[in-house]
Amino acid sequence: MQEKTNQNLIQEAIRLAGTPAGQQLLALLKNNGGDELNQAMNLAASGNCEQAKQILSGLLSDPQAKMLLEQLGGK
């Protein structure tokens, strides 16, 4: 069951990354913290999601990142 949930999350992340807001957010994150973004992605891929969330929370505190996240969330 957990595998299916993870697979659904991955599919949703890929879908969101393909949207205009998702592309802008990825570019912003790469520009503002490319090393941290890569580290978070590697941690998440290895199953260490809590540490990945901690790293991303700092990157996502940017006002423009927050706006893009709201667009992706449909708010």
The yes-or-no verdict on residue 75 having pLDDT over 50 is no
* pLDDT single digits (tens) 63-72: 888 888 888 8
Domain residue limits, the chain: 2-72
What counts of helices (H) and strands (E) characterise the chain? Answer: 4, 0
Tokens of 24: 């802008």
Is pTM beyond 0.85 here? no
Query: pLDDT-based confidence at 3, cuts 50/70/90?
Result: low
Tokens of 37: 């973004």
> CA separation (Å) from 23 to 4, 29, 45, 48, 55?
26, 10, 20, 24, 19
